[in-house]
Amino acid sequence: MKALMTIWLSAMLLLFSSLAQANLTIEITRGSDRATPIAIVPFSADGESLPEDVAQIISDNLERSGYFAPLPRNAMYDRPSSGDEVRYGQWRALDVRYLVVGQVSRGADGYRIRYELMDVSGQRRMLGESVSAGSNELRSGAHYVSDQIFEAITGIRGAFSTRIAYVTAQGVDQDMQFGLYVADADGHNSQQVLNSREPILSPVWSPDGRKLAYVSFETERPAIYVQDVGTGQRAQVASFDGINGAPAWSPDGRRLAMTLSKDGQPDIYIMDVGSRNLERITNNSSIDTEPAWAPDGRSLIFTSDRSGGPQIYRYSFGSGQTERLTFTGNYNARGRLSPDGEALFLIHRSNNGFQVARQDLGSGRLVVISETRSDESPSVAPNGTMVIFATQQGNSGVLGAVSADGRASYRLPSARGDVREPAWSPFLN
């Protein structure tokens, strides 16, 4: 119990150093050996100079997913801009299975992106579309195209048009300045939604992607706030004596699970956001924290030391019963369920430190999927293909991401300073 309390308090009082730049940059650290060969040919632009390289954004997105291995541009013999210009034999010789071609043209209100996805072995067009993008929305258009291509080939909805939230800080000691940011899933187009001289922790997106709940120490003790990302309007929803932490939205967006210690030990409570009525879910001498809802809303998981060390448990609303889910090792915490509810992602302490792991809930089998050693705060992409988390790179805190099967990974470091507490948004359209 003391160990878990120490971990909790350490997280609550976590301090960062230096200033985090607005945008994060992606560094691919490991590609999947099962990635599908694909070529994204540079899109023609009628000689215009464009502010964004649409084809490169699409290529980067697909590579980062771990599902695809894009062909380098310098290996391309030909650069068609439409399906009619494709000579399939050349691409088969390069072992390319899928080919993306297209054009970008400027219009009065922005840009028009035309793209086609070609099946090289079948010598056919799988997908074709013309997409409008505003004058400052070329990146968004490229993310949309990436989503369509990803789903057409894999059958899984793409998550490149989603966003992430994260926490940064500047200064040292008494001059610390904390920031809560939101950005595109690739780290670009970051926007600060909160600035504070006190720590910010545990941001989490509402199911509609419009709000963030988080913990702030701005009143000199932890309190939970809900903030509208678009308008900046926010409200304090929990500021009881003791711990107010780890907010988690219900799938219907009407309730927040949270950790409160107002009645003694930290326990799990559920608040109706509209009425602010509270329901206590756990009630014993252990430390219960880090709740997360099941996708169907019928249960929630949480971390507890009731077995002697941090393990993950599930509480079922129908029966009111609690069951232990993790048994591998003596430390398993910060559980997050996959969108289909069949897998559990968590922080597992192994011989290599604290790492992201995946446990199949049917078999109970646990597999470590990250290669870093100081991981925390995992958050799952809404399509279940990737997990983003906080980790260390040298002396700096960075964000890492790993595919659900552990075969591909990348980092999102800041140019300066630490980045922590990532949260992946739901689908936004």
Interval 325-342: pLDDT, tens: 999 999 999 999 999 999
Q: Residue 176's pLDDT is what?
A: 80
Q: Indicate the domain borders of the chain.
A: 2-28+162-424, 31-154
Q: Residue 257's pLDDT is what?
A: 98
Q: Residue 230's pLDDT is what?
A: 94
Q: Report the CATH architecture of 31-154.
A: 3-Layer(aba) Sandwich (3.40)
Q: Report the CATH architecture of 2-28+162-424.
A: 6 Propeller (2.120)
| pLDDT mean across residues, the chain | 92
Q: Residue 8's pLDDT is what?
A: 43
Interval 171-227: pLDDT, tens: 777 778 899 999 999 999 999 999 999 999 999 999 999 999 999 999 989 999 999
pLDDT digits (tens), the chain, 429 positions? 444 444 444 444 333 333 334 578 777 888 888 899 999 999 999 878 899 999 999 999 999 999 999 999 999 999 999 999 999 999 999 999 999 999 999 988 899 999 999 999 999 999 999 999 998 999 999 999 999 999 999 999 999 999 999 999 777 777 788 999 999 999 999 999 999 999 999 999 999 999 999 999 999 899 999 999 999 999 999 999 999 999 999 999 999 999 999 999 999 999 999 999 999 999 989 999 999 999 999 999 999 999 999 999 999 999 999 999 999 999 999 999 999 999 999 999 999 999 999 999 999 999 999 999 999 999 999 999 999 999 988 888 899 999 999 999 999 877 656 899 999 999 998
pTM listed for this prediction: 0.91
User: How far apart, in whole angstroms, are the C-alpha atoms of residue 387 and residue 401?
Assistant: 5
Comparing 2-28+162-424 with 31-154, is the CATH topology the same? no
Q: Residue 22's pLDDT is what?
A: 56
